[in-house]
Amino acid sequence: MKKIFLLLISSFLTLASVLAQTPGNSLSGSVKDSATGKPLAGVSVFLNSTSKGTVTRADGTFMLSGIPGGRYEVIISAIGYQTFVAAITTRSLPAELKVTLHEKASELAAVVVEPYLKDGWKKYGKFFIDNFIGTTENASNCRLKNHEVLRFHYYLKSRKLSVTASDPLIIENKSLGYDLEYRLESFECDYSTNIISYSGYPLFKEMTPDDAKTRLVWEQRRRYAYLGSMMHFMRTLYSGQLYQEGFIVEHEIEVPNLEKLRVKAIYKPNLTKTDSIPMDTLHHYWEILRQPDAYLQKTKSTNDLLTIHPDQTRTLYFPGDCTIIYGNGRLGIAYQQSDINLMEPVAIDIGENGSYYPPRILSKGNWSRTETIANLLPRDYELYNH
């Protein structure tokens, strides 16, 4: 089955409680139970898709220090409670984040509303692993340690498979040297369109290598996972270094239909007198007026891809298709092609750390195979520090 992936690994939610801002690279706050008002201890607090995380103290307070530059989601999560998500940027971090967590419905109540397949893992487990963790070389050393928390739902009428999880997924990636806690928000396969999408909140934890050789292998594999990845592309697009980093980009732009503009200026149906206009010319006018006002035309220029706004934030936008080719002969990385489309005609905010929002990007080609959990790196990964 030819698959198309909707890249949804990262998303941002804007919350009013994050508006009181002060500069810095640390984030502090407190977490309470919404019903009792009592502080919650041992709650997980982390930056989505990074290795930056902590847990709340006995009094419900927390401190996250050393946040690298960029835009992130703060994830506050505890078993039995609804996950709290808030967008932050290191340009203006909140003075203090005060959060109240709400209890979520019990799994028993959820099952009554949304029953799941009891034999779901047996029937769809391999399909889920192949499309979530992946089938690349790194996937062979990746293991989902608690598949029993997965819940599989198949909708016969719409031909859709949906997968949820009652607890965070525990994933061991011995290829890259990370343990992941992945809070799965959604996984869906639409068999009618062959579009597979998933979203969630991963927290990375560095494994301790047995020896220096293992550490070196991890660093090399991380480097190869990064080069040519979506994160690499977004970071270099943000910095304006696509060509220097080895990316070849071809995308579509809208160009006006000049002939239609010319015809509209000299001929208006039902208004222009046609006595002196030859019939073949009239036929030409009618044909041209049925054409679109603009066409999509491919260009290798990247000038129209990125917009830098007065506040130095950056957005990505293109109509139609965008083809991205990457390779590195010096490192033995063969040239591979990926194609992306925007699911909606809206600009995508991109951050210096490679994040992007909204996460409505369809990926085909190489990225549909490689942008999976087995190759996923934390947002605080830095190539030249390894």
Structural domain for 161, as ranges: 106-222+371-386
- At residue 271, the pLDDT reads 86
Q: Does the CA dihedral 18-23-24-30 come out positive or negative?
A: negative
Q: How far apart are CA 282 and CA 313, in angstroms?
A: 50
CA distances from 252 to 54, 129, 295, 350, 355 (A): 44, 34, 9, 19, 23
Stated as kind and residue range, the H or E segment containing 235 is helix 230-239
Please report the DSSP string for 318-351 in residue order.
-SS-EEEEEEEGGGTEEEEEEEEEESSSSPEEE-
- At residue 108, the pLDDT reads 46
Domain end: 64, 83, 104, which one?
104
Q: What is the pLDDT of residues 182-202, one digit of tens each?
A: 999 999 999 999 999 999 999
Burial 10-24 (b: 16+ CB within 10 A, else e): bbbeeeeebeeeeee
Number of structural domains found in the chain: 2
Kindly report the backbone phi and psi dihedral angles of residue 243, in degrees, each rounded to the nearest multiple of 5, phi listed first: -65, -45
The answer on 192 and 120 residing in a single domain is yes
Is residue 290 assigned to a domain? no
- At residue 2, the pLDDT reads 58
Is residue 302 assigned to a domain? no
The answer on 110 and 100 residing in a single domain is no
* CATH number of the domain bearing residue 69: 2.60.40.1120
What is the token pair recorded at 202? 């991963």
The answer on 200 and 113 residing in a single domain is yes
Stated as kind and residue range, the H or E segment containing 180 is strand 178-190
| Global pTM value | 0.81
Domain end: 104, 136, 152, which one?
104
Q: For the chain, how many residues are written?
A: 386
Domain end: 104, 124, 146, which one?
104
The answer on 148 and 74 residing in a single domain is no
In this structure, the number of other CB atoms found within 10 A of the CB of residue 62 comes to 22
The answer on 188 and 205 residing in a single domain is yes
Q: How far apart are CA 98 and CA 89, in angstroms?
A: 17
What is the token pair recorded at 319? 């109509």
Helix (H, G, I), strand (E, B) or coil at 219: helix
Q: How far apart are CA 92 and CA 230, in angstroms?
A: 26
Q: What is the pLDDT of residues 218-258, one digit of tens each?
A: 999 999 999 999 999 999 999 999 999 999 999 887 888 99
Q: How far apart are CA 170 and CA 144, in angstroms?
A: 6
Q: How far out from the chain centre does Cα 3 lie?
A: 17
- At residue 68, the pLDDT reads 87
- At residue 239, the pLDDT reads 93
The answer on 87 and 31 residing in a single domain is yes
Q: Measured over all CA atoms, what is the biggest interatomic distance in the chain, rounded to whole angstroms?
A: 90
- Beta pairing partners, 295: 255
- Please say whether the beta carbons of 10 and 357 come within 8 A: yes
- Please say whether the beta carbons of 348 and 317 come within 8 A: yes
Is residue 305 assigned to a domain? no
Residues in the chain with pLDDT < 50? 9-23, 107-112, 386
Is residue 93 assigned to a domain? yes
- At residue 132, the pLDDT reads 97
- Please say whether the beta carbons of 15 and 86 come within 8 A: yes
DSSP tag of 98: E
